[in-house]
Structure formats: structure tokens, C-alpha cells
Structure 1
Amino acid sequence: MEVNQNNIIESLQKILKNKRQTHLSFQHIDLGTLQTIRKKLDVYIEQREKEEEEKNMALSEAKKVIDAMMEKTGLSRNDVAALISQSAPKKTPKRLRSEPKATETSEVNTSSATQKHYVYGDNHLSWDG
């Protein structure tokens, strides 16, 4: 669903970048529908502006707290950055590779058992990697 939404947004941005394309795309849409779209976008824009303002205020407050702590402890910005990087959780791999299972019989030649041949081209040429 998200990919479809991204395609819609990209198409809309492409249309709105060009005045002629905008006119051609929206000329047959009635005025009431265009006004409804505008009202909904205005509400969404106001909401996003409010969220951005709140985010900026929170960042500003956090910066003030960090600056006050730096002044109190005598730490530099580099010291704080180093502390943050040390305490950040390290990513763990989603899936660890398992070791290949060992065969019980030693008679099996492992190189020939795992060797693969790939066929390519019109002449069906092979390649073993």
C-alpha cells in the first residue's frame, strides 16, 4: 500500500511542477472537488506545521539541557558525542548464518557435491563459478 501511495505522491509532484500539466490534469475537475481537496490539504498542512514546531521546541529544550550539563560538568561537545556513541545500542543481525551440516561419511567429495554449474547465453555455455 505504501508503494502505491509513493507512486501517487510522485505523480502529483510531477504534475504540479509544470503549470501546463497542472491545468490539463485539473481542468475537468469541478470547483467543489478542488475546494474540498484544498481544505483537506490545509488541515493536514496545519497539523504538520504544528508537529514540526513541537519537534523544534523539544529539540531546543534538549539542547538547553545538554548545554547546561556540559557547562556544569566541563564536558565538550566531542566528549558528549563520544559518550552517546558508546551508549547507543549496537545493531544485531536479523539472522545469523548457520554452519553447514557436516556429513557423517567421509567418502563424499565435498567440492564436487557443492559445485554448481550455471548455463548462460544462446549457446548454453556453462560456468562453474
Structure 2
Amino acid sequence: MNPEKVVFGFFILLALTLNFGFVYGEIDNPDHHHALELAVVLVVNLIATVLKLGDRSQMGAVLLATSLVAILQLIAGAVIWTIAAHASADGFTPAVLSSVVSLAAGAMVANIVSVILLIIETTMLRR
């Protein structure tokens, strides 16, 4: 067993499951989505991206691309949340929360693609 692959797979799956936990619930209900959970999702996705930087294969490039997409969407969601909560005249509305959750759902799709690619890569390995 390769410990590096275990850590790599752990963070990819953790990113997906945490993202699902944030997205799950009514899209415009603030009781179902927490800012700290979004921050944790972003940090775990950043760690997963850093772990993907060392792979020089074609599969590694696609995995990195999916991770970058997820990070871009999560950062956009965090920026929208921050602006609405602190700088917007309207404040944090259900419409703003819907936008943030929609961006996180897009990141979750990218995380799903990462997990599928990881499964494909694992099954293609020869012993």
C-alpha cells in the first residue's frame, strides 16, 4: 500500500463529502448552510489541489484542472457571501445564499469528476 496514494484519495473524497454536506438542504435556507463549513470545504479543496501538483501524467493534468475549477467556484461563492454579509446594502438574502450554494454545487460536480477519474486511474493500474 502506498501511503501517498492513501492521503491523495482521502483528500479527494473528503473534499467531495464536505462539499455535499454544504450543498445539502434547502438552497435558500441559511439554517442549512454555514459559512464555516464553506471555509472548510475551500481549505480541503486547496489541500487536494496541492497534492495534485506533483503528478505529471495526462490524468494528473485533468485531475488538477477539475480541482482548479472547484477552487474557482468555491472562492467565488466565498467572495459573494463575504460581500453580501459585510458590504452590501441589502445584506445577506436568500437570493445571495442561493447563488453561493449553486456555485458550491458546481464545485461538487468537479469533485465528483475527480473521484470518478481517481477510480478509473486506480482500476487501470497493473500490479
Same structural fold, with TM-score higher than 0.5 when normalized by the shorter chain: no
Q: Which has more strand, going by share of residues? A: 1
Q: Which has more helix, going by share of residues? A: 2
* TM-score, normalization by structure 2: 0.29
* TM-score, normalization by structure 1: 0.29
Higher radius of gyration, 1 or 2: 1
- By relative contact order (CA 8 Å, sep 6+), the higher-ranking structure is 2
